[in-house]
Structure 1
Amino acid sequence: MAPSGTQREGRDESPEERADRRWNELLQEVRVAQTGVQILFGFLLTVVFTPQFPKLGSTDRTIYVVTVLLGAATTGALVGPVSFHRLVTGHRLKPQTVAWASRLTLVGVVLLLATVASALYLVLRIAMHNAAVPWLVTGFVTWLVLCWFGLPTWARHRYAGKS
């Protein structure tokens, strides 16, 4: 209980309880991101086997390879928290595991942004063949940055210290 005259901030939980709660929250977030990445990466892997792939020019093939590599890196970063947890389970490292898994997840989200941007650029480049493509992709990436990073950062600063 907080001393009289002082207001206690946050939850009344032990460091272990906090780590457990944060781990469960992180797992839910990673599950959502992993599903999308797995679907996107799966589709990217099949493109090379389509009849149209040999007709792509060298620039489009390079963009495709970069996109696949970004998708693989994204998958690695978003699966990383699972393997990290599995390898350190039982060693009383839950708070550290949550911190590292959180970092890996954030890296995965940044890589997902790059993967989506690259895939969108490739698809629109092939579909539209015009100078509007970079502008469209830039607009879409700006939208994702605002949704994924801008709004949460604004909310964190806007509501910091308020209960």
Structure 2
Amino acid sequence: MDSEDRPLHPIERDDREDGRDETVNERADRNWDELLQELRVMQTGTQILTGFLLAVAFQPRFEDMDAFQRDVYVVLVGLAALATILALAPVGMHRALFGRQRKPQLVRVAARIVRIDLIVIAALTVGVTTLIIDFTVNRSAGLIALVASIVVIVGLWIAMPTLVRRARNDIHER
């Protein structure tokens, strides 16, 4: 398929479906600004979790962790590093592409990276919650925290947006 024949990604279209009167570049600029706001929130949370995890290893009670807890801890440190790298990737890409008229492509790729980072941050948050409850209470409570955390994330990050989209579609169909 020729590049001119391929369907355009929503960020590349100059459509007026959402009622905004903006060019492709204006839309890319707006979407980039929105992505940056999301990245700022994600980075703050990730930095707090990462700082917590790094401090844990230097606490006297770290030695009290069993092998499973230490393994989970190491995985969580890896996830925290990955989340940080993913959150910084769009900024690095922006710097590399700055002034090269690639903003629509940058926004499209950065939006994918942010989605992946959200999955990593969800796993990190669930893992940290599980580890803390497992260590401070017991393994059964840790497993309950694991399941509860997953349910909350699925509910708020997947189910709720789906319901909002459906409600909006129902309103537009009337």
**TM above 0.5, one fold?**
yes
In the alignment, is residue 46 of structure 1 matched against residue 68 of structure 2?
no
Shifted more, 25-34 versus 143-152: the winner is 143-152
Q: Partner of 2:172 in structure 1? A: 162
In the alignment, is residue 141 of structure 1 matched against residue 116 of structure 2?
no
Q: Structure 2: any 5+ residue segments left out of the alignment?
A: 1-15
How large is the Cα RMSD of the aligned pairs? Answer: 1.7
Runs of 4+ in 1 over 6 A off after TM superposition: none
Q: Separation in 2 of the partners of 1:46 and 1:132?
A: 23
Q: Separation in 2 of the partners of 1:132 and 1:48?
A: 22
Aligned length: 156
The equivalent position to 1:80 in structure 2, one of 89, 96, 116, is 89
Q: Partner of 2:23 in structure 1? A: 14
Question: 1:137 deviation in Å?
Answer: 2.0
Q: State the structure with bigger RCO (CA 8 A, min sep 6), 1 or 2.
A: 1
Q: Partner of 2:99 in structure 1? A: 90
Give the 3-state SS of the residue equivalent to 1:77 in structure 2. helix
Q: What letter is aligned with 2:167?
A: R
- Give the TM-score, by structure 1 length: 0.89
Q: Separation in 2 of the partners of 1:30 and 1:159?
A: 26
- Give the TM-score, by structure 2 length: 0.84
